[in-house]
Amino acid sequence: MRSLVIIIAISAISALNPLRAQDPEVSRIKALMDVQVNAWNQGNIEGFMETYWKSDSLLFIGKKGVTYGWQATLDNYKKSYPGKEGMGSLSFNLLEFKKLSPDVYFVVGKWELKRTIGDLSGHFSILLRKINGEWKIVADHSS
């Protein structure tokens, strides 16, 4: 009986964790992140940027400071990663998913670029919002 109580308690605690509960929205956000990785690894920055909110209100914070707007963010990516060699191979390790409201998530992760010209890595935090039924990144802070 004691074992059954422990199993029920662990199950209840696990259900509170959105990663373990397999929230369908978390699965959709993971799929969006896979779209980013696949596009990047094909050398397709425009495809990578399709996961971002196409708005002048998009906020991107990187090592060069704050950038506002989808087009300006795309332009910065193109300047920073002018070709496939510079882009390398991207991977993410998604660390945290925080549901802030039914249509807003905060995600923290680690990014890594394997490149022949030298590897790069860092962390990111992104704010995603469901817009017209689709998850879009509305703010990105990458370091």
Q: Per residue in 72-121, pLDDT tens?
A: 999 999 999 988 889 999 999 999 999 999 999 999 999 999 999 999 99
The reported pLDDT for the residue numbered 9 is: 40
Q: Find the length of the chain.
A: 143
Mean pLDDT of 122-132: 97
Write the pLDDT tens digit of every residue in 12-65: 444 444 444 578 999 999 999 999 999 999 999 999 999 999 999 999 999 989
CATH code of the domain made up of 22-142: 3.10.450.50
Edge-to-edge strand list for the sheet holding 65-68: 65-68, 59-62, 134-142, 120-131, 104-114, 89-101
- What does the CA dihedral 58, 62, 65, 68 come to, rounded to 10 degrees? -10
pLDDT of residue 6: 39
Q: 91: closest CA among 19, 34, 50?
A: 34
Q: Strand pairing of 89-101 and 134-142? A: unpaired
